[in-house]
Amino acid sequence: MRKVLLPHAISPATPAPGAGIATCHGTSMGTSWSVRLVEDGAPAGHWQAALQDQLDGVVAQMSHWEADSDLGRFNRAAAGTWQVLPQAFFDVLAFALDVCDASGGACDPCAGALVNLWGFGPVNRYNQPGFVAPTHEQVARALAERAGRHVRLDAEGRRAWQPGGVQLDLSAIAKGHAVDRLARYLEGQGVAHYLVDVGGELRGAGVKPDGQPWWVALEQPPDAAAGDDGIVVALHGLAVATSGDYRRFFTDGGHRYPHTIDPRSGRPIDSGVAAVTVVDPSCMAADAWSTALTVLGVEQGLALAERRGLAARFLARRADGTLLDTASSRFTAMLEEGDPA
């Protein structure tokens, strides 16, 4: 029987009689996005343009693919300089640095140089002709160059210190922030019932016109066992993000290198974790923590999830190719057996 994940708190608010669902979609941040909202009579074109504009704002501030983004300008800034950041960029970077500290460096927004070295950045891509995986010496050199270079924040001045050569990469948190940004925009416009999806990171609120919540199946690795019905979650005041080793990877010398980099070793993860899903009211938090827990692995990641009160699910590969399903107590407390009505 399929398992369902339910929120601890449920709002009694329902859409007005006769309400329908408007759907908007597009592309941003190198992926697709979609929004389903219980419409209030506003033209679909109004929502489409406004939502795309919100996402364009995220790209303009935090994209490491756009040279003229605020992040790009920070990465090129001279050593020993304070850089004033837009408020959203500052807040996202501050949260990412907090997760870095809490995870012992397992998810570091300052590890962009390592991401680029392994071909998962905007240049020298792993899937382009001529790419060669870095040598141990190149990785060691990159780690040595990172040592002692710490980004500091000045909250009062909304500034970040560029010590020299630090390459920020907010890929582990930016999509989650984008989801939250769209959700806040909709709520600011009086929309109480919606489902937001940016590249598979989701957040929902309220219910559909039929009174049902926004049911979403948790992401599963492609090699999940046949007949595994998985878990569906009611995104009612909740967000969900999944980090997996199967999305982007390359093989070299018979070894598989996933896109998630462990900033501590300077190498792609090799923890045996296939996927980590985190459920949280904030998609930004779910996004960042799912990456950090993936890097840490099941034992250390689960211990951290318990200390932080995170609702997290780990899928780890066994030697026989099957997946071991492990969850934190907070995640387990939200589970029920049954099928969505």
Return the SS3 of 117.
Answer: helix
Instruction: Give Cβ neighbours of residue 51 (< 8 Å, ≥ 6 apart).
Output: 24, 26, 33, 35, 182, 185
Ligand-binding site membership of 172 (annotated)? yes
Long-range contacts of 12-21 (CB under 8 A, 24+ apart): 13/192, 13/206, 14/206, 14/207, 14/211, 15/193, 15/206, 15/207, 15/208, 15/209, 19/193, 19/209, 20/209, 21/208, 21/209
Task: Tell whether 88 is in a known binding site.
Answer: no
Contact (Cβ atoms closer than 8 angstroms) between residue 109 and residue 97: yes
Structure tokens at 74: 């920070």
291 is in an annotated binding site: yes
Q: Where are the beta strands (DSSP E) in 134-221?
A: 153-154, 159-162, 194-198, 201-205, 215-217
Q: Return d(Cα 237, Cα 9) in angstroms, integer.
A: 8
Per the CB < 8 A criterion, the answer to whether 304 and 288 are in contact is no
Q: If you count them, how many residues does the chain have?
A: 341
Beta-carbon neighbour count of residue 265 at 10 Å? 13
Phi and psi at 289, nearest 5°, equal: -70, -35
CB atoms within 10 A of CB 310: 24
What residues does 28 pair with on adjacent strands? Answer: 31
Distance of CA 265 to the CA centre of its chain: 21
- Alpha-carbon distance 297 to 275, whole Å? 10
Amino acid at 31: T
Binding residues: 172, 287, 291
Binding residues for Mg(2+): 172, 287, 291
